[in-house]
Amino acid sequence: MRRPTRDDVARLAGTSTAVVSYVINNGPRPVAPATRQRVLEAIERLGYRPDTVAQAMASQRTNLIGLIVPDARQPYFAELAHAVERAAFARDHLVLLGNSAYDDERQLHYVRAFLGMRVSGLLLIRQGAAEPLVEEVSGSRTRLVLLHHRTDLINTDAVVADDVTMGVLAVEHLLGHGHERVACFDAPAGTPRTGNPVALRTKGWRQALRDAGIDPERGLLHRAPFDRYGAARAARRVLSRPNRPTAIFCTTDDQAIGVLHAARELGLRVPDDLAVASCDDIAEAALHHPSLTTVATDREAMAEAAVDLVLQSRQASTPEIRRFPARLVTRESCGCPPASDL
């Protein structure tokens, strides 16, 4: 009942253990076809699988990628995590998943645990400040790539979207529908803003208004929670005021869904009484009622780039930041006719 080892295979195949390793790893020495065949047959008969732990021990490498997200239940992160898993699978790596739950300590716990596992790469949608994380990782040979959040000033790679443009595209489109009071739902108060994609999207909102000759006045900028219920609560407040906006730009689809819910409760029709546009293009955006106008990014491509970066054993000379373009997807919530998505 003992799990077969390399020695068992060698014995059955009538070869030495070294040859078994050569066959498995295709090298570093050539093996004659006949011998290789005998070894493969022995492996097959014993149902031998090399022990990954022992391999990691000996080779000082693992086939593990650590991925830390704030909350894998949220569609955006779930889709990103899925894309990372696909990319890792294609490169014969496994994914260790941790949820930071928007908690700095928990995030640090996972970083340490993953380093302890000797992951060959660490992918992180960071929470809080970046410095402690980078410091924790420096000194290990493990590579760290930040996903989603940019980090200038910090010596680590990142894969991000062109967040400013995302805001600009969405807001320009709302302006194109004739709106002038376009509010913005930004990140909740207290969120660190350096390199934060949400802060950049808000910057895009500001920029688009200015370019249209409109003053991005303070009364239009709202700090709202990221979760749907929190966003709905915030929206109820904003929409109940006398001088309510005629359009809202949300920095995430999740917020937008909360806003739509609040609008419905208040008897406001979307898009007639209130237009909404947001960012991310999660799967739900297309099937929501009304469907969401949003700015999409190519998550698959971003995840692949991140995995490639993290597995690439290049010397870290200067941090590499890969930025991906954004694309507006018009649907009902802004006032465009519903596309036949199906």
Counting beta carbons within 10 angstroms of the beta carbon of residue 317, is it exposed (0 to 12), middle (13 to 18) or buried (19 or more)?
exposed
- Per the CB < 8 A criterion, the answer to whether 120 and 100 are in contact is no
Least Å distance, CB 121 to a second copy, is 15
- Near DNA by CB under 7 A, which window of 7-15, 239-247, 260-268, 330-338? 7-15
| DSSP codes joined into one string, 246-270 | SEEEESSHHHHHHHHHHHHHTT--T
Select 40 or 175, whichever has its Cβ closest to a second copy.
Answer: 40
Q: Which residues of 121-152 are buried (b: 16+ CB within 10 A; e: fewer)?
A: bbbbbbbbebeebbebbeeeebbbbbbbbbbe
Least Å distance, CB 119 to DNA, is 15
Residues 93-122 that bind a second copy (CB under 8 A): 94-99, 106, 112-118
Q: What tokens were used for 179?
A: 């709106």
Q: What tokens were used for 36?
A: 């290789």
Residue (of 46, 36, 41) closest to 5 by Cα position: 46
Between CA 88 and CA 95, with CA 90 as vertex, the angle to 5 degrees is: 20
x/- map, 153-192, a second copy, by CB under 8 A? ----------------------------------------
Contacting DNA (CB under 7 A), which of 7, 41, 131, 180?
Answer: 7
Residue 212: C-alpha distances to residues 205, 208, 312 (Å):
11, 6, 44
Residue (of 294, 293, 295) closest to 335 by Cα position: 293
Q: What tokens were used for 3?
A: 């799990």
Least Å distance, CB 113 to DNA, is 14
> Whole-angstrom Cα distance, residue 310 to residue 320?
11
Residues 194-233 that bind a second copy (CB under 8 A): 228-229, 232-233
Select 141 or 210, whichever has its Cβ closest to a second copy.
Answer: 141
> Whole-angstrom Cα distance, residue 177 to residue 171?
10
Query: Residues in contact with DNA, total (CB under 7 A)?
Result: 30
Binding status of residue 113 toward DNA by CB under 7 A: no
Unique residue bearing structure tokens 């020495």: 29
Residues 62-81 that bind a second copy (CB under 8 A): 62, 71-73, 75, 78-79, 81
Select 20 or 329, whichever has its Cβ closest to DNA.
Answer: 20
Contacting DNA (CB under 7 A), which of 24, 46, 97, 175?
Answer: 24
Neighbouring C-beta atoms of residue 32, cutoff 10 Å: 9
Least Å distance, CB 314 to DNA, is 19
Binding status of residue 148 toward a second copy by CB under 8 A: no
Contacting DNA (CB under 7 A), which of 12, 31, 137, 209?
Answer: 31
> Whole-angstrom Cα distance, residue 82 to residue 89?
10
The footprint of DNA (CB under 7 A) covers: 3, 5-7, 14-21, 24-25, 28-32, 34-35, 48, 50-51, 54-55, 57-60
The footprint of a second copy (CB under 8 A) covers: 1, 3, 47, 49-54, 56-57, 62, 71-73, 75, 78-79, 81-82, 85-86, 89, 94-99, 106, 112-118, 139-140, 228-229, 232-233, 257-258, 260-261, 264, 283-284, 287-290, 342
